[in-house]
Amino acid sequence: MKVRIDGTTKEVRTIWREGQTIRLIDQRKLPHRFEITTLEDHVETAGAIMDMVMRGAGAIGVAGGYGMAQAALEAIDRDLPEFERYLLEAAERLRSTRPTAANLFHAIERCLDASSTGTVAERVEAVLSEADAIAEDDLEASRQMGVLGNELIDDEVRILTHCNAGALAFIDYGTALSPIRLAHRQGKKIHVFVDETRPRCQGARLTAWELEQEGIPYSLIVDNAAGFFMRRGEVDMVIVGADRIAANGDVANKIGTYEKAVLAHENEIPFYVAAPRMTFDLTCKDGESIEIEERSPQEIVGMWGVDDTRNPSRILIASEGTAVRNPAFDVTPAKYVTAFITERGILSPPFSESIKLTFGEADIS
């Protein structure tokens, strides 16, 4: 990902491992401050996932794998039964952070499978290798989704996004933003409508920031304006990411995605979901089986930003004690999805067949 820091453009990954420590962009500080933070152990990593220091299906999955690597290194001097117990406890702690994101669970299972045989030292090395492989798989999948998704983008196209499914949500490139990046770099004239994405405003804070870094033309809009621009014929396609995709093609993604899909359907606008194999959950029959995370009421009643002097500030926008419901995700039925953009191809309906054909259960579990 290209980042301009003090007048210099640098290539930076969202998250990476340095031995037992994890280094990552603190996404809570963007777009006003760019900071790299360090996580020293798997407990800190679990807390960072829960507190959304990093967020996005891919980044959460990579963080989960790195957290398992940290746990393995923390237990390297224990005997085998204690090592196994410690790793299982770490896995449970990491799983409990964000229940909707499939990538997190797949990453943890991959690391547990890698730790199943050998001496303690051999198992530690296997977990480290698997965690690094998960990160590289994420990077390559994001890049390939850009290549394949770019084929769907014509010149002079206006694209609506929701939430942040860019490089910040993965290691680099992203899912929904990966085809957009490539289309821009190839000289296609595109314009991106960026939903603000309440309540944490990942569109306003993160997607707009990423597009700004790359010089991609965009307009930030309030969430409720998407239908206005669609009805006026100013949106040609919608591309979003996903946090979990069921075997039948139902999609769990950031709250508000369902509304955008219905609006796109009503206005005959193609609605694409970009996601790697790690986001597909063939053990999940349909969207009704997906656990939807509900988060703190504080995300709704207040907002964080900077004041006129650029100092961090939080303000209340509703009175203290206001009754709140705060689901972080919703489910978009498969019937509203035009196609899935994956690293293995564009999947078309019927999704129960194309998903199974492309991602057999043994391949992603």
Q: Which residues have a catalytic role annotated? A: 243
Q: Angle, nearest 10°, between helix axes 80-95 and 42-50?
A: 10
Nearest to 230 by CA among 201, 195, 267, 194: 267
Distances (CA, A) of 129 to 60, 73, 124, 213: 18, 12, 9, 32
- Residue 281 burial (C-beta neighbours within 10 Å; 0-12, 13-18, 19+): buried
For residue 252, list its beta bridge partners: 244, 331
Residue showing tokens 């090395």:
125
- Under DSSP, the state recorded for 340 is E
| Token pair listed for 221 | 């809009």
Q: How would you classify the pairing of strands 251-254 and 271-274?
A: unpaired
Specify the 3-state DSSP secondary structure of 6: coil
| Token pair listed for 55 | 């967020």
The answer to whether 206 and 218 are in contact (CB under 8 A) is: no
Q: What are phi and psi of 252, to 5 degrees?
A: -95, 125
Number of other residues whose CB lies within 10 A of the CB of residue 29: 15
Round to whole Å and give the CA distance between 11 and 319. Answer: 43
